[in-house]
Amino acid sequence: MPTRSPAYPHRVSQPVLQPDYARPVKARRPARAARLGVPPYDPDETPLARTRRARRMARELAVIHPDAHCELDFTTPLELLVATVLSAQTTDKMVNKVTPVLFARYPDAAAYAGADRAELEELLKPTGFFRAKANSVIGLGRALVERFDGEVPGNLADLVTLPGVGRKTANVVLGNAFGVPGLTVDTHFGRLVRRFGWTAEEDPVKVESEIAVLVPKKEWTDFSHRVIFHGRRVCHAKKPACGACGLAAWCPSFGIGPLDPELAARLVKTPAASDTE
Ligand code: SF4
């Protein structure tokens, strides 16, 4: 049935098929950041008010993205560590295409340490930057054999000493392979929490420490997945789907993307299409 939009009563539109996670937005005017072009972070918002707003938004994200999870396929900490290193500059889907053969050919750290570089590069080619990635993976294998008896350490301090492993990769491995809560500050995460007005920081380490005080520790891993899903599906870098975003009521950036519900709904990506960024 054609309907009239409450936000755009002049418009009679056909219903748009939306993924379940696109939630209706109550009509309201764009937020300050969108109207005036000012940063969404409000230094005058009290820490208590910001924490309450953040927790409300985090709860809503859990409703919007109940299926959020680590999209890399793995069965062991080593597999996840390698897959995460390979995921730089490519999609998780592409990594998942390469890893079944890779994991079968290199079952442990010693196998990576002794890998034939040319053969490994050939396997990694579809993921891009394959020479650098082959270097990283061989270096990882050697470091694990030399310093950790071939096992992936289950703590941040040791993980970040491994070649090619920064805090982001370490937190992915801790959160998903060891059950140790971790915040994964990738480009989606950083962009979104700044749009949420939760931080004004650009540096991922500072972003991580500011968000850590807003979100309960036990939720860090799932929360990271939900934010990243939201970044992939709804709050895109170029055209965020504000008019179809379930966080609109609490987001100080509401209105930086299209508000027309029909147009916004068309910007929302389905799960299958969202693994392209
Ligand atoms: S899509 Fe718009 S309203 Fe939703 S989180 Fe992003 S900027 Fe805020």
193 lines ligand 1 (CB under 6 A): no
For the stretch 203-215, pLDDT in tens is 999 999 999 999 9
Specify the pLDDT at position 32.
86
CATH of the domain at 84: 1.10.340.30
84 in the same domain as 61: no
pLDDT of 9 > 70? The answer is: no
Decide if 267 contacts 236 (C-beta within 8 A): yes
Looking at the chain, the whole-number percentage of residues with pLDDT higher than 90 is: 80
267 lines ligand 1 (CB under 6 A): no
**Residue 254 Cα: closest atom of ligand 1:** 3
- Residue 241 CA to ligand 1 center (angstroms) comes to 7
Report residue 29's pLDDT band, with 50, 70 and 90 as the boundaries.
Answer: confident
DSSP one-letter string for 9-26 = TT-EEPPPP--TT-----
Specify the pLDDT at position 28.
75
The answer to whether position 158 is within a domain reads: no
Which positions are annotated as active-site residues?
Answer: 168, 186
Distance between CA atoms of 142 and 185, rounded to whole angstroms? 27
The answer to whether position 257 is within a domain reads: yes
Last residue of a domain, one of 151, 173, 198: 151
pLDDT of 7 > 60? The answer is: no
pLDDT of 11 > 50? The answer is: no
Q: Where are the alpha helices (DSSP H) in the chain?
A: 32-36, 47-64, 77-86, 92-105, 109-113, 117-124, 130-148, 156-159, 167-177, 187-195, 204-212, 220-233, 261-267, 271-274
pLDDT of 13 > 60? The answer is: no
33 lines ligand 1 (CB under 6 A): no
Decide if 183 contacts 177 (C-beta within 8 A): no
Distance between CA atoms of 270 and 193, rounded to whole angstroms? 22
Query: By C-alpha distance, which of 71, 60, 56, 65 is closest to 21?
Result: 65
Distance between CA atoms of 30 and 249, rounded to whole angstroms? 10
pLDDT of 65 > 70? The answer is: yes
pLDDT of 56 > 80? The answer is: yes
257 lines ligand 1 (CB under 6 A): yes
Specify the pLDDT at position 47.
97
Decide if 5 contacts 25 (C-beta within 8 A): no
90 in the same domain as 44: no
* Number of domains observed in the structure of the chain: 2
Specify the pLDDT at position 18.
53
Nearest CA to ligand 1 atom 2: 242
Specify the pLDDT at position 147.
98
Distance between CA atoms of 188 and 193, rounded to whole angstroms? 9
**Mean pLDDT confidence for 177-195:** 96
β-bridge mates for residue 261, sequence order: none
Full residue range of the structural domain in which residue 205 is found: 3-68+184-274
246 in the same domain as 112: no
**Residue 241 Cα: closest atom of ligand 1:** 1
Residue 152 makes CB contacts below 8 A (sequence gap 6+) with 76, 77, 78, 81, 109, 144, 159, 173, 177
Structure-token pair, residue 257: 């993307």
pLDDT of 277 > 80? The answer is: no
Distance between CA atoms of 7 and 77, rounded to whole angstroms? 49
User: Model's pTM, two decimal places?
Assistant: 0.86
Place of tokens 């049935």: 1
Decide if 241 contacts 258 (C-beta within 8 A): yes
The answer to whether position 53 is within a domain reads: yes
Average pLDDT of the chain is 90
Distance between CA atoms of 267 and 272, rounded to whole angstroms? 14
Decide if 136 contacts 82 (C-beta within 8 A): no
